[in-house]
Chains A and B, each alone.
Chain A
């Protein structure tokens, strides 16, 4: 592509900046009337364009000093298996598919309780200065270390303690993540025969895909995934018939506790079955559905430019929100992790992707660019939540323990708060989407599904297909989440087996079935416990689990940024260290404040220990002792994470001061420089 002449290029970017500024001014200053989602899209796109063009280029040139002439491990090793020099667009697509998860869909929906503005600003700014930078630098540093993982880099650059803490942080995040996302699925499917039938059908569909791929059409994954997609769509459509049949509907209607047990049993079984039979086909199917749905949602929002009904800021910025307790700072920044800054991405950036990178210069597009796209998905989720009438949004996302158990009490509470909604209105909406009720459907997934159905049904097919769109959205999220459960349980199991192998060697053998069963049971038991806690929590488990997950995820980002900062200092680029140090300092302040509040705040809705004290002072019921124990465990987990990250911060700061004072040699542990032949081809 020909470059524009410089004066014209400058003019174009000035126009982009002005458009972006206008869009931000509109969304920030607008009060009272509804505004079009187009303004959010414009603000986001202009910001991302400027961030990529200016900030990522600065990071690439000045901080990381990308060297096109240096051969990457994909070029040097090129074993045709793990290390394969790959076209940058293919690597980009592969990396984006790997990092895109349910997080950017759920977090923004929950954070919409503060209004659209705080979450939107964090998604955009957090991504440009935090998440994209983290993904980019970790990817490049892993490329320069022959694809080493984050844990290995932490061990090498910070010390053995750093590596151990990264390992523990990853294991903890896996457990909390699985518990939190499983709770989202439970809340989405409870008392929903249509939804439960559809998701239930994905299991035999995935098994069928596995057998089809292995026995009938070996290697034809895209074809098999398309077949699976068609079957899943038929299941979504067929679910209406199930819901309308009294006998069949009752067979697929489950309470939250029953669904929790079913999901635990499913995840255990899925994690011990051969990979090719269930996990792999399910993974392919959910990737197929995910990429298609994100694309369709993006087109839907751009073409139909829906109107946002949620105000820019709600009164719940003061911390009294019904969806989850806590003020905008720090909880808006904890609730939205994956769309802004996600420590989990550093595992992906130091996993398969660095082994495919052909040229160092391509890490900018893959690392920084893919995270930008993920951030855009977060913006789309924010839009889907905010197209709902606020009263409807809060009726869906607020737990019964906060707004009231009956429809009349709940709607009266919400109307009193200034978000008018009526019981007949909610009943009508529930019928329109093929559900028995939409009250107390916490977790973000049902609200996102209603928003998405609203966007499409207003334009394509009308109310008649709203239910199909709703259940398609539920299916898409639940399918994805169940894959995360399968895969998360397996990855965690390998980590547990690795640790147990130090205690008794046979337990470390990943192919020994007793060890597989034992380790899987341990891990499923761990996250299953958090799931059960959430299901039984009268405040709605999301109030406890999602902030805990956000804290975990961003503490892992803290670990990644500590590693990155250490390497930048050792590279002799200390004057540019604010690039990682500023987001690191921000994340430390956010996560530590959030953890402190969740442990010690005197508001029983917010502080775990305050809630335990309230319960111990009240008249004891059958569940009181268990709820008190749950609160104390949650407090202990939050406290443990903060202690672990404090240790790695101290280790990192000690390392920095040794290097900066000269008492330790400034030396990076990169693979040796080998000239790249691809660079010559690029120049030619």
Chain B
């Protein structure tokens, strides 16, 4: 049971990283902000360069 819970937790962490939710959490922690439209808009500005430069594989 513990192992299943750990596996599900890891799966959640994988999806949160892939979909940049972890990235947003780290941004909030770094900037000492809370979830809001304004903080997300700031995060998107910071991410815009990274996302734009990220090559998508063929």
Which residue of chain A has the shortest Cβ distance to B45 in the bound complex? Answer: A276
B30 touches A (CB below 8 Å): yes
Residues 333-350 of A at the B interface (beta carbon under 8 Å): 337-338, 342, 344-345, 347-348
Count residues of chain B with CB under 8 A from any CB of chain A. Answer: 37
A201 to B40, CA, bound (A): 26
Extra contacts, 16 of them, besides A81-B27, A93-B18, A280-B47 (Cβ < 8 A), are A92-B14, A93-B14, A101-B58, A213-B40, A215-B37, A218-B41, A219-B35, A219-B40, A275-B47, A275-B52, A280-B44, A291-B18, A342-B57, A344-B55, A351-B55, A484-B56
Q: Report the Cα distance A177→B38, complex, angstroms.
A: 37
**A342 and B55 contact, CB distance less than 8 A:** no
Which residues of B sit under 8 angstroms from A87, Cβ to Cβ?
10, 13
CA distance A351 to B39 in the complex (A): 26
Across the interface, B58 reaches (CB within 8 A) one of A97, A181, A214, namely A181
CB distance from A336 to the nearest CB of B (A): 12
Is A80's CB under 8 angstroms from B58's CB? no
Contacting residues of chain B (26-50) with chain A, CB-CB under 8 angstroms: 26-27, 29-30, 35-37, 39-41, 43-44, 46-50
Measured CA separation A100–B43 after assembly (Å): 26
Task: Tell me the nearest residue of chain B to A284, going by C-beta.
Answer: B19
Binding site secondary structure of chain B: helix
CB under 8 Å from chain B, chain A span 280-324: 280, 283-284, 287-288, 291
Given A94-B14, A221-B21, A494-B53; A274-B58 close (CB under 8 Å): no
Say yes or no: is A451 at the interface (Cβ < 8 Å to chain B): no
Contact A90 B13 (CB under 8 A): yes
By a CB distance below 8 angstroms, the chain B residues around A98 are 54, 56-57
A547 close to chain B: CB less than 8 A: no
| Interface assignment of A193: CB less than 8 Å from any CB of chain B | no
In the assembled complex, B51 has its CB within 8 A of some CB on chain A: yes
B39–A218 touching, CB < 8 Å = yes
> Is A488's CB within 8 Å of the partner chain B?
yes
CB distance from A345 to the nearest CB of B (A): 7
Residue of A97, A288, A347 with highest tally of chain B CB at under 10 A: A97
21 residue pairs bridging A and B, Cβ less than 8 Å apart: A80-B29, A87-B10, A90-B10, A90-B14, A93-B18, A94-B17, A103-B58, A177-B58, A215-B37, A219-B24, A275-B44, A276-B48, A279-B52, A283-B51, A284-B20, A291-B18, A337-B58, A351-B55, A484-B56, A494-B52, A510-B49
Indicate which residue in A86, A220, A488 contacts B56 across the interface (CB closer than 8 Å).
Answer: A488
CB distance from A209 to the nearest CB of B (A): 12
Check A86–B17 contact: CB distance below 8 A.
yes
Give the residues in chain B near A337, CB-CB below 8 Å: 58
For A348, give its contact among B10, B13, B41, B55 (CB under 8 Å): B55
CB-based nearest B residue for A176 = B58
Nearest CB to that of B19 among chain A residues? Answer: A221
- Whether B55 lies near A84 (C-beta < 8 A) is no
Query: In this complex, which of B27, B35, B52 has the most chain A Cβ atoms within 10 angstroms of its Cβ?
Result: B52
Whether B19 and A484, one on each chain, are in contact in the complex, defined by CB atoms closer than 8 angstroms, is no
Chain B residues lying within 8 Å of A347, measured Cβ to Cβ, are 55
Bound-complex Cα distance A222 to B18 (A): 9
How distant is A212 from chain B, measured CB to nearest CB, in Å? 12
